[in-house]
Amino acid sequence: MRAVVAIARKDLLVELRTKESVPAMALFAVTTFVIFHFGLDRDRLEGELAAGVLWVTLLFAAILGINRLFVAEREQGGFDGILMAPIERTSLLIAKSGALIVYLVALELIALPVFALFFIDEGFWAAVPRLALVTLLADVGLAVVGAMLASIAIHTRARDLLLPILLLPLTVPVVIAAAAATKPLLSIPLDTSGVGKWLAVLALYDLVFGLLAYAVFDFLMED
Amino acid sequence: MVLITTALALVFFYAPNDADQGFVQKIFYVHVPLAIVALIGFIVAGVLGAMHLRTRDDTWDARSYVAIHMSVIFGVGVLATGAIWARASWGKWWVWDEPTLVSFLIIFLLYVTYYPLRYSIDDPQRRARYASVFAITAGAFVPINFIAVRMAESLVHPRVLNQTAGDMPGEMRLTFLVALAGMALLYVTLVKLELTSKNARRQLRRLRRMLEEEHSGGAAPPPIATVPAKPN
């Protein structure tokens, strides 16, 4: 557990000092919102369209961060360090997922207000508590799957090419559930029915892939 | 085994049961068994991948790879026959509000990425390990994806084998089950064939390399491999 905290702390400190991932992700998200504004030619969004724009943007922005997740480990020998240290290898997975969750939350802290400013008329703040819950559950799923796939992709020749095509199909259930849960929250008369069901789906996804990543991660870390 | 797969064709012509959809409905005997076998193949590949991680025996990895390979090929067949059937009975080549179609497409897209993943890892041991991890993850993903997509969509696609919707008359059910068995055996046969050919190719390559070493003699510089090392 101490190893987990140490690795995650290291990652967050590095990110805090270099500001490599999160600002780029946030900038990407904001720019994508602008692109959507012109692509859809809409000033205001609501309901399923709003949910779709939001989640597609967040997912693509997350990919940027996930792609960078293990770069330092690879370039500066961090993997060897982890392997030589007398710690469980899965602590790397947990730490990386944790760091990624922090990145994603930071991203959403910027992206969600901007999204509301650009596209949502009013009633957004009433939806925020539930939206935060949806986002958090989706973040956990994205982070676990992202950390696992990033550790696979980093060892291949086609690294940053391979990650999105592996990640996107695997995260389709997250997008389905998150967008479906967000849709009623962003509808003009705020509607909270059916949100619970999708939260359950997200939680199930997080649980299954969390356990799965935990089970297979050891095998990704040999040699 | 091949005999039984030809029995599939025989049943196909011998027991034609035109339902309300007429002749087009026949594609059902190809489409559904293909889909079921492909999905089971994906899940089996996950189990085989787990066997590889457990035993570190490369033959398990090869089996897992070939199982996925064949399932992807079957998957192309599923999408093609499904599109034809959809065009004939629903009037469109592709329908988005069909959970079964959409989830199959997502799973298919996921498994197609198995190839770039496999071919972009050079170290054979690592390749086998990562491919196995992928096979397990994706195998677990198959049911989850079906749950998620199905929850999101309507239920128009007929479920054939569940308790209520399986109201097939006896003859149709028999034909369907024979078609399913035939398709499963075809799958197994193809997997075996591919495994044998892979083994043969590997042995051939090894023999050639030995031969080359003999020819080049002791003092000569190490021979440049004339046979490119193909990923297996």
Tens of pLDDT along A208-221? Answer: 999 989 888 888 87
CB contacts, 8 Å: A222 with chain B = 129
Contact A166 B129 (CB under 8 A): no
What pLDDT score was predicted for residue B165? 43
pLDDT over 90 (residue B17): no
Contact A219 B138 (CB under 8 A): no
Of the pLDDT bands very low, low, confident and very high (cuts 50, 70, 90), residue B102 is confident
Least confident of A38-52, A148-162, B150-164: B150-164
Among A90, A151, A156, A197, the residue to mutate for chain B (most B Cβ within 10 A): A156
pLDDT over 90 (residue A30): yes
Integer CA distances (angstroms), B200 to B57, B77, B194, B207, in order: 18, 27, 10, 10
Instruction: Confirm if B16 and B29 have CB atoms less than 8 A apart.
Output: no
Tens of pLDDT along B136-181? Answer: 988 888 888 877 777 765 444 555 544 444 456 666 677 777 777 7
Interface residues of A toward B, Cβ cutoff 8 Å, are 148, 152, 155-158, 161-162, 165-166, 168-170, 172-173, 176-177, 180, 197, 201, 204-205, 208-209, 212-213, 216, 219-220, 222-223
String of DSSP letters for A112-125: HHHHHHHH--S-HH
pLDDT over 50 (residue B27): yes
Instruction: Confirm if B135 and B46 have CB atoms less than 8 A apart.
Output: yes
Tens of pLDDT along B125-139? Answer: 888 888 899 899 888
User: In this complex, which of B106, B132, B140 lies closest to A169 when CB atoms are compared?
Assistant: B106
- Nearest CA to B50 out of B61, B42, B65 is that of B61
Domain ranges for chain A? 2-222
Minimal C-alpha gap between B150 and chain A (Å): 10
pTM for this entry: 0.79
CB contacts, 8 Å: B133 with chain A = 152, 216, 219-220
Contact B147 A201 (CB under 8 A): yes
Crossing angle for the helix pair B28-55 and B99-112, to the nearest 10 degrees: 40
What pLDDT score was predicted for residue A107? 94
* Residue B118, C-beta contacts closer than 8 angstroms, at least 6 positions apart: B65, B127, B130, B131, B231
Domain ranges for chain B? 2-217
Percent of chain A with pLDDT over 70: 100
What pLDDT score was predicted for residue B218? 52
pLDDT over 90 (residue A28): yes
Q: Does B160 or A166 have the greater pLDDT score?
A: A166
Q: Does A11 or A137 have the greater pLDDT score?
A: A137
Mean pLDDT over each residue of chain A, to the nearest integer: 87
Tokens of B124: 């054979």
Among B120, B127, B154, the residue to mutate for chain A (most A Cβ within 10 A): B120
Instruction: Confirm if A138 and A48 have CB atoms less than 8 A apart.
Output: no
What pLDDT score was predicted for residue B18? 47
CA within 13 Å, CB half, A123: 14
Contact A156 B133 (CB under 8 A): no
User: In this complex, which of A161, A172, A216 lies closest to B145 when CB atoms are compared?
Assistant: A172
Among A159, A172, A175, the residue to mutate for chain B (most B Cβ within 10 A): A172
- Nearest CA to B152 out of A135, A202, A38, A82 is that of A202
Mean pLDDT over each residue of chain B, to the nearest integer: 76
